[in-house]
Amino acid sequence: NAGVTQTPKFQVLKTGQSMTLQCAQDMNHNSMYWYRQDPGMGLRLIYYSASEGTTDKGEVPNGYNVSRLNKREFSLRLESAAPSQTSVYFCASLAGAYNEQFFGPGTRLTVL
Amino acid sequence: AQSVTQLDSQVPVFEEAPVELRCNYSSSVSVYLFWYVQYPNQGLQLLLKYLSGSTLVESINGFEAEFNKSQTSFHLRKPSVHISDTAEYFCAVKASGGYNKLIFGAGTRLAVHP
């Protein structure tokens, strides 16, 4: 049981490049989330998916898109990266019965 | 909407001393409250949570937090800290009804010194 996994762990992009951050969970959770973590700002929700086939915007969705490929996988795409998107990105899934979110190890993204 | 304020961005403390990390929230509806811990270069882990019932909740590693509705607070305490408690701690709130979206505070960095 791996929990929540994220790939890649580190990435460096140039301004304007695109990339997809991958997230998968093996806990059969319905809900999944993407957050970004910036110093002094805590975690801010980018997008979430209440269930397979649905996605909704969070606090800071501009510049991002998501895909809930199936129940296990929830990917985050940056179509044209900007330096303001330099951050650590966390994926999480929710054990609804216990109101607990489980987090992946994070992806550290630098946009030059 | 809900919001969370963590009153201290950094808390330095000596080993075996007590510590309190402060968290205040605002909400017009009933809430669930959480403390998460993030060790260096890792994701967040749930430390403890208040959903209902006893207002004092405890974690397995000696932390406790008390839900105070009148003061809209959920402060985290430990009577004697260890070096291994060095981490960043996040308070989070969720409306008890409606969708499961957590709102996080900015975090408090706890540094335990020998």
Q: What is the pLDDT of residues B52-91, one digit of tens each?
A: 888 899 998 899 999 999 999 999 999 999 999 999 999 9
Residue A97 has pLDDT above 70, yes or no: no
Tell me what the pLDDT averaged over chain A comes to. 93
Cβ distance A44 to B104 less than 8 Å, yes or no, reads: yes
Residues in chain A whose Cβ is within 8 Å of chain B: 4, 31, 40-45, 48, 50, 58, 90, 92, 94, 96, 99-101, 103-106
Interchain proximity B44–A43, CB inside 8 Å = yes
DSSP A48-112: EESSTT--EE-S--TTEEEEE-SSSBEEEEESS--GGG-EEEEEEEEEGGGTEEEE---EEEEE-
Minimum distance, in Å, between the CA of residue B16 and any CA atom of chain A: 27
Specify the amino acid at residue B33: L
Q: Out of B45, B94, B104, whose CB is closest to A42?
A: B104
- A56 pLDDT band, cuts 50/70/90, is very high
